[in-house]
Amino acid sequence: MAEMNFGGVIEQVVTSKEFSLEKAREVLKNETIAVIGYGIQGPGQACNLRDNGFNVIVGQREGKTFEKAIADGWVPGETLFSIEEAAKRGTILCMLLSDAGQIAAWPKIKPHLTPGKTLYYSHGFAICWSDRTGVVPPEDVDVILVAPKGSGTSLRTMFKEGRGLNCSYAVHQDASGHAEEKTLAFGIGIGAGYLFKTTFEREAVSDLTGERGSLMGAIEGLLEAQYEVLRENGHSPSEAFNETVEELTQSLGPLFAQKGMDWMYANCSTTAQRGALDWAPRFRDAIKPVMKTLYEEVRCGNEAQRSIDSNSKPDYREGLTKELAEMRNLEMWQTGAVVRTLRPENSDQGK
């Protein structure tokens, strides 16, 4: 492991320099990795592991997603099976179904967790709130986690570009005495950028907080609020969208992603700098109480229960489709659809 100074806090991280791909292959050489679920994380992790030379099979019920797995090169009866058959054949069972899907499938998978096997997660939800999910692993199996800090699509895309997506890792149960080594090998196998240690509980709580906060919920709320204020004061849709979303994602985002927010500030006008420095504390002070409430709702399990209750409804998909359509049909995102067609790479001039 390497020690890194994160703003004065020393953390130990693992990269392929400390834990090579060759070592990862050696650690997992006798394992059959069964990726259960080929939805969000499944394709990226399964394909990256396969490309890195690991023994991988996929478990997925028949349907559209099963056909996607076939299109990605998984062969029915050879490397592609039903969920139950993959769980039976695998020595490392990767629970990459949705949280609701994991709860539903658990009674079918648990009988195949025979002594010496490993139960793998990319999200701590099912284990962290086991009193609500009913997922309690046998004591004679390893229970481990590698959580990519991004979507499965990003994991795969960055892997193909020769880059890695940062991941957290954790060991919940070490029955074999080698669970941590196995976890690190798995992280390197899926193409992690660097790995940092956590627990199942901290991963689950931080993940749900981030999704509802700055990664998705809060950012959508902020964008909608600014766009609406601009439109209510006579600004055109194009102007409101460019000042709210397009400049953020296409110009400023890459700058602070590259070298940090202070560097982005330094490369903006002095007027922008002054205003941003003055208003950032006001937004922080206004938003922090909401974030504290959000964190407590996640930590105590209320958010997990809301998710379980909502996602287990028989008409969940229909409701989700309706809610996403309502967002898509907002004037702001309808404007965005037009603006994207006008980007140089999508215009005749950019061809």
DSSP string, 166-187: EEEEEEEE-SSS-HHHHHHHHH
Which residue in this structure is represented by tokens 């390197």? 188
14 is written with which tokens? Answer: 């693992």
DSSP 8-state symbol, 347: S
301 is written with which tokens? Answer: 């399990």
What is the pLDDT, as a whole number, of residue 4? 85
What is the pLDDT, as a whole number, of residue 347? 61
118 is written with which tokens? Answer: 């490993």
123 catalytic, yes or no?
yes
Q: CA-CA distance, 252 to 211, in Å (whole number)?
A: 21
In contact, 147 and 167? CB cutoff 8 Å = yes
What is the pLDDT, as a whole number, of residue 348? 57
Distances (CA, A) of 227 to 212, 246, 344: 20, 12, 24
Task: Say which of 123, 172, 178, 235 is annotated catalytic.
Answer: 123
What is the pLDDT, as a whole number, of residue 351? 38
DSSP 8-state symbol, 346: G
pLDDT along the chain (351 residues), means of 10: 86 91 97 96 96 97 94 97 97 95 94 97 95 95 95 92 94 97 97 94 95 96 97 97 95 91 92 96 97 97 94 91 96 96 72 38
